[in-house]
Amino acid sequence: MFNIAIDGPAGAGKSSIAKAASAELGFLYVDTGALYRTVALGALKQGLTPEDKEQIIALLPDLDVTMKFVDGEQRVFLNGEDVSEDIRLPEVSWAASTVSAIPEVRTFLFDLQQSMARENNVLMDGRDIGTVVLPDAQLKIFLTATPEERARRRYEQLKDKDGITYEEVLADLNKRDYQDTHRDVAPLRQAEDAVLLDTTDMSFDEVVEAIITLAKERFS
Ligand code: DC
C-alpha cells in the first residue's frame, strides 16, 4: 500500500487540500481529526467537559467510533449515528484538542487509523500521522502557514455564518496549536523525514500541485 501522511497546525488547509490531492491520485482521504472530534462529541453528549479526564477514559468502552466512505467521502459515526456535521461545531474543535491529549483516547483510535492505511492507499491527515501513526509512510508532508494567514483563510470561511471576528479566529487557532504542540503524548511536530510546505504565499492549486508532484516522484 502507498501511504501519504500530512500533518500540520489548525487551519493550514489540510483537509481541503488533502481532499483535492487524494481525488487526483485515486487515494482514500482519511481525516483523523474527525475521529478525535467524534470522541469529544461523545463526551459532550454525556454532559462531560473535555477536562473530565477520568470520566472520559471510563466512557471509551461505550463509544463506538466508526467511519464509512460514501462516494469516496468520509463519514463518521458515533454509536451508529452519522455525526459528520455535528463534529464541526466550534465547541467541538476545542474539546477535540483537549481530549486528544489523553493517552487512552489516542490508543483508542490508533488501530482504526492504522488498519485503514494497511488496507488502502491512503492520504491521511492529522497531527501525529508522520511521527506516530504511519511512521513508514512513503511520503510525509508538514503543511503550514503563518498563524495570521491561517486565521485569515478560516475567517473568510466563517465570517458570514458565525459573526465571529478575525481576532477571535486568530486567538482560537493559537490556543489550539499551543495545546496540540505542548501535550506529552504525540504532540504536533514535523517528522524528520517530512517535506515542509509553507503555503503562506501559495495558492490552493499550487499546494495541491506540489503534493501531486511529490507523490508521483515517490510512487513512480
Ligand atoms: O484536524 P482537526 O482540526 O479536525 O483536529 C481536531 C483536534 O484533534 C486537533 O486540535 C488535535 C486533535 N488531533 C490529534 O491530536 N491528532 C490527530 N492526528 C488529529 C487531530
Q: Give the residue, 159 or 109, on which the prediction is more confident.
A: 109
The span from the first CA to the last CA of the chain, in angstroms, equals 13
88: CATH? 3.40.50.300
C-alpha cell of residue 158 = 466563517
**Ligand 1 atom closest to residue 10's alpha carbon, by position in its atom list:** 3
Asked whether the predicted pLDDT for residue 25 surpasses 80, the reply is yes
Output the CA torsion sign for 8, 9, 12, 13. Answer: positive
Q: What DSSP string runs through 10-34?
A: TTSSHHHHHHHHHHHHTPEEEETHH
Please name the residue whose Cα sits nearest to atom 11 of ligand 1.
97
The per-residue pLDDT for 220 is 78
Which of 15-24, 27-36, 158-167 has the weakest average pLDDT? 158-167
Residue 62, pLDDT > 80, answer yes
Q: Which domain holds residue 110?
A: 3-219
Distances from the Cα of 97 to the Cα of 25, 137, 139, 211, angstroms: 30, 24, 25, 26
pLDDT at position 119 is 95
Concatenating the DSSP letter of every residue in 62-95 gives G--EEEEEETTEEEEEETTEE-TTGGGSHHHHHH
Q: Which ligand 1 atom sits nearest the alpha carbon of residue 128?
A: 18
- Please report which confidence band the pLDDT of residue 123 belongs to, taking 50, 70 and 90 as the band edges: very high
- pLDDT for position 10: 92
Distance CA(180)–CA(138), nearest Å, equals 24
User: Whose Cα sits closest to atom 5 in ligand 1?
Assistant: 33
pTM for the complete prediction?
Answer: 0.96
Quote the ligand 1 centre to 99 CA distance (angstroms).
10
User: How many domains are there within the chain?
Assistant: 1
**For residue 157, what pLDDT is reported?**
83
CB-based burial label for 17 (10 Å; 0-12, 13-18, 19+): buried
Q: What per-residue confidence (pLDDT) applies to 209?
A: 98
The radius of gyration of the chain's CA atoms, rounded to the nearest angstrom, is 17
pLDDT value at position 126? 98
Which protein residue has the closest C-alpha to ligand 1 atom 14? 127
Q: What is the pLDDT of residue 210?
A: 98
User: What does the pLDDT read at residue 48?
Assistant: 98
